A and B are shown apart, each in its own frame.
Chain A
Amino acid sequence: MAQADGATPAKKPVVPWFAAMAASLLGIAVGLEYGDIDDPLLSRALLALPILFLVKAGLNAAHNVGRLGPRGRASRAYLVRMLIVSVAYVGAVFAASALIDEGDPVTPLSIAIAIVPGLAIAGYFYAMGRFLVEQQDEFMRMLMVRQTLVATAVAFSAASIYGFLENFGQVPHLDAYWWPITFFFGLGLGALVNKLTFGTYGEGC
């Protein structure tokens, strides 16, 4: 192996896993809305699939930035936070699905359990904010800002369009948690825009 002779370890693929996450999100969204999956536990379990792809992309990316030494410190911290939040999110969704049944009375405890997955999603935004503060490479910081602006535009545009379509009875109801998921899809699109305009996805640091 490369490590044995003191050379830098080989890079691991990130983009294919990120693409797999985006594709599975889209597939599951379409499948859940237009398929006949009635089991709520199964539908939530399916949502864990893109998270697993994201974790794999994150692990590979953490490995890659680990090769950079101190320069990759902000990226490594960001990826670690994202992975912790991802695991917390998956755990919280499964816990809420197991503990709360449809039609159960609303209690302070049920609210406390149901709010945790949403707070975990908020953790993603906290991690992104910390990254922007801690990133010392100004070009990479700019790429991240551009990426999040694209993602914000995609998510808010999609929410606005779908919201009016739903309001006028043209499409079925969509749970609101799909909009942050659309934001994450937009992050992938933002990385692609960066690649096309600046020649890099922003993966170098």
Chain B
Amino acid sequence: MKNRLKVLRAERDWSQGDLAEKLGVSRQSVNAIETGKYDPSLPLAFTIAEVFELAIEQIFDPKG
């Protein structure tokens, strides 16, 4: 599943480590999600949406 995590993170000038800290996960988790190697669970996707103050579908593209 494609996502805009990298772009959204860059817009806020956050490193992967910064985002990981906000999500309470490891930097490796953020990297795996960002590169599309791992699709997050629904609870984690909601947390990501909350951190970016966006709707889930504005971050993740299920057709990707």
**Footprint of B on A, CB under 8 Å?**
68, 71, 136-140, 142, 197-200, 202, 204-205
Assess whether A205 is in contact with B38, with CB atoms less than 8 Å apart.
no
Contacts of A199 in B (CB 8 A): 28, 31-32, 35, 37
**Contacting pair B25 A137 (CB below 8 A):** yes
A198 to chain B, nearest CB (A): 5
- Whether the pair A200, B32 counts as a contact (CB closer than 8 A) is yes
Contact (A200, B24) CB under 8 Å given A138-B44, A142-B38: no
B residues in contact with A197, CB < 8 Å: 37
Question: Complex formed: what's the CA distance from A140 to B30 in Å?
Answer: 11
Q: Scan residues 1-59 of chain B and give those whose CB is less than 8 A from a CB of chain A.
A: 24-29, 31-33, 35, 37-38, 40-41, 44
Sample of 14 more A-B contacts, CB < 8 Å, known A139-B28, A199-B31, A205-B29: A71-B24, A136-B24, A137-B26, A138-B25, A138-B29, A139-B29, A140-B25, A140-B29, A142-B38, A198-B32, A199-B32, A200-B28, A202-B28, A204-B26
Interface residues of chain B, those whose CB is within 8 Å of chain A, are: 24-29, 31-33, 35, 37-38, 40-41, 44
* Docked-complex contact B40 and A138, CB < 8 angstroms: yes
Q: A139 touching B38 by the CB < 8 A rule? A: yes
Q: Is the CB of B26 within 8 A of A71?
A: yes
For the complex, give the distance between the alpha carbons of A65 and B27 in Å.
13
> Nearest chain B CB to A79's CB is how many angstroms away?
15
Q: Which of A139, A198, A200, A202 contacts B25 (CB 8 A)?
A: A139
Q: In the docked arrangement, what's the CA distance between A111 and B27, Å?
A: 48
Smallest beta-carbon distance B28→chain A, Å: 4
Give the top 7 A-B pairs by smallest Cβ distance, nearest first: A205-B26, A139-B29, A204-B28, A204-B26, A200-B28, A137-B25, A137-B26
Give the chain A neighbours of B38 by CB distance below 8 A. Answer: 139, 142, 198
Chain B residue numbers with a CB within 8 Å of A205 are: 25-26, 28-29
Q: How far is the CA of A23 from the CA of B26 in the complex (A)?
A: 29
* Chain A residues in 8 Å Cβ range of B44: 138
Q: Which residues of A contact B26 (CB under 8 A)?
A: 68, 71, 137, 139-140, 204-205
State the CA gap A123–B7 with chains docked (Å).
Answer: 45
Residues of B within 8 A of A200 (CB): 28, 31-32
CA of A44 to CA of B44 in the docked complex: distance in angstroms?
A: 47
By a CB distance below 8 angstroms, the chain B residues around A140 are 25-26, 28-29
B31 surroundings in chain A (CB, below 8 A): 199-200
User: Which residue of chain A has the shortest Cβ distance to B33 in the bound complex?
Assistant: A139
